[in-house]
Amino acid sequence: MSRKICVVTGSRADFGLLSWLMKEIEADARLQLQVVATGMHLSPEFGLTFKDIEAEGFHIDEKVEMLLSSDTPVGIAKSIGLGTIGIADALARLQPDLVVLLGDRFEAFATAQAALVSRIPVAHLHGGETTEGAVDEAFRHAITKMAHLHFTATEEYRQRVIQLGEDPQRVFNFGAAAMDNLSRITLLDRAALEAALGFQLGKKNLLVTFHPVTLENASAAQQFEALLQVLAELQDCHLIFTKPNADTDGRIIIGMIDAFTAKHQGRAAAFTSLGQLRYLSTMRLVDGVVGNSSSGLIEAPSLHVGTVNIGDRQKGRIKASSVIDCTPDKAAIQSALAQLFSDAFRQSLASVVNPYGSGSVAQKIAHVLATAPLDGILKKPFYTLPHTIPSQHAH
């Protein structure tokens, strides 16, 4: 009997990271792939990206609607509830042996809850990371506690998952899933990319990906406005924007991007979803990645491209020497971009080492999914670290 492995994907971003693992599961005679598409995949506003899943040859077993047309905190909370209900029904029909989740978004959180109550073990990718500026930080660690097999992106993150009480024998560090894209995809050259984008690259180019910082009140517009002011003043520089996910305040930023690109036609273009091939091809050919996306930390160093990482969204994550951190104000962003374009910094990029590994991640994970003993896996003992924490004495 082959093991039924149910991969749940909620956005273009996590599907781009899960697709190689899905192919490995399909190719393994010991495993049977099930696919559940939810969240932004089913939303016209975010490009109906479930079609991307089908275009790669995967059969979607269940589509679970959970995304309300609201990005307010109340709307997101209700989406989590809808997701938990819909995923519970889907899991009851599919009866998987194991559910696979990636990351820290609310779709994954809703799925983990449904699987836990349904007594279906969860395998979680990218646990142990910190994103202090986003509510996703708590979602990620909560999913870790609801999961049973863990695949982390670095050894430090593996140690953090163990610190959360997880059995070291069930926590595997194979590197970041994104590394498989870089090692397996043949990226487009400049002419092919320009044709695919319908946009001409300039003398200098930047890839801009900025997401709302969900734990900072009403600051998304101010932070992004500071960035846009700097970008408007750049000379001889073309800009490629990718639009944010369905986070709180996401629509505010989407509106600001649309207004900016309309004003700077020919020099700036925006895309709802580039897909992995166009996104990584763009990243390789630009002079830098600007914003607060994890891709600037995880993929960009392997392409020897510099990153200007703005604000606290990625605070706490391990970073290569190619990442320039700055605060979300105009002067700091200007200074960081000056460093990015400097000759000394550009020369340093050739020797950058990526802390997130080098590939073959999906193959290793699929082997564990096929061979890990599942009997009794639902009963998790809390693993206590060998050292003791000093006791707190009352004053």
What is the average per-residue pLDDT within 339-353? 96
Instruction: Evaluate whether residue 83 is within a structural domain.
Output: yes
Instruction: Evaluate whether residue 278 is within a structural domain.
Output: yes
Whether residues 50 and 194 share a domain: the answer is no
Looking at residue 221, its pLDDT comes to 85
Whether residues 241 and 308 share a domain: the answer is yes
Q: What are the distances in angstroms from CA 8 to CA 22, 114, 122, 175, 246? A: 10, 12, 11, 20, 17
Looking at residue 109, its pLDDT comes to 97
Instruction: Evaluate whether residue 382 is within a structural domain.
Output: no
Whether residues 95 and 195 share a domain: the answer is no
Q: What is the pTM of this model?
A: 0.81
Grade residue 354 by pLDDT with cuts at 50, 70 and 90. very high
Q: Specify the number of domains making up the chain.
A: 2
Full domain range(s) for residue 59: 3-174+360-371
pLDDT (tens digit per residue) in 219-268 = 788 889 999 999 999 999 999 999 987 666 788 899 999 999 999 999 99
Tokens for 87, please give them: 């995923």
Instruction: Evaluate whether residue 147 is within a structural domain.
Output: yes
Residue 393 pLDDT more than 70? Answer: no
pLDDT (tens digit per residue) in 58-94 = 999 999 999 877 778 898 899 999 999 999 999 999 9
**Which domain CATH number covers 118?**
3.40.50.2000
Whether residues 167 and 232 share a domain: the answer is no
Instruction: Evaluate whether residue 242 is within a structural domain.
Output: yes
255-270 as b/e: b if 16+ CB within 10 A: ebbeebbeeeeebbbb
Instruction: Evaluate whether residue 377 is within a structural domain.
Output: no
Tokens for 75, please give them: 């709307």
Residue 122 pLDDT more than 50? Answer: yes
What is the average per-residue pLDDT within 106-132? 94
The overall average pLDDT reported for the chain is 92
Instruction: Decide which of 383 and 214 is more confident.
Output: 383
Helices (H), 264-386: 275-285, 295-298, 330-341, 343-348, 361-371
Looking at residue 357, its pLDDT comes to 86
Residue 132 pLDDT more than 80? Answer: no
Instruction: Evaluate whether residue 366 is within a structural domain.
Output: yes
Whether residues 257 and 367 share a domain: the answer is no
What is the average per-residue pLDDT within 111-139? 90
Closest CA to 304 of 340, 344, 348, 343: 348
What's the gap between Cα 216 and its chain centre? Answer: 20
Whether residues 259 and 319 share a domain: the answer is yes
Taken as a whole, the chain contains a residue count of 395
Whether residues 71 and 157 share a domain: the answer is yes
Whether residues 198 and 263 share a domain: the answer is yes
Whether residues 230 and 338 share a domain: the answer is yes
Whether residues 170 and 261 share a domain: the answer is no
What is the average per-residue pLDDT within 302-322? 93
Instruction: Evaluate whether residue 394 is within a structural domain.
Output: no
Residue 113 pLDDT more than 90? Answer: yes
Whether residues 8 and 146 share a domain: the answer is yes
Whether residues 136 and 254 share a domain: the answer is no
Grade residue 215 by pLDDT with cuts at 50, 70 and 90. low
Looking at residue 218, its pLDDT comes to 44
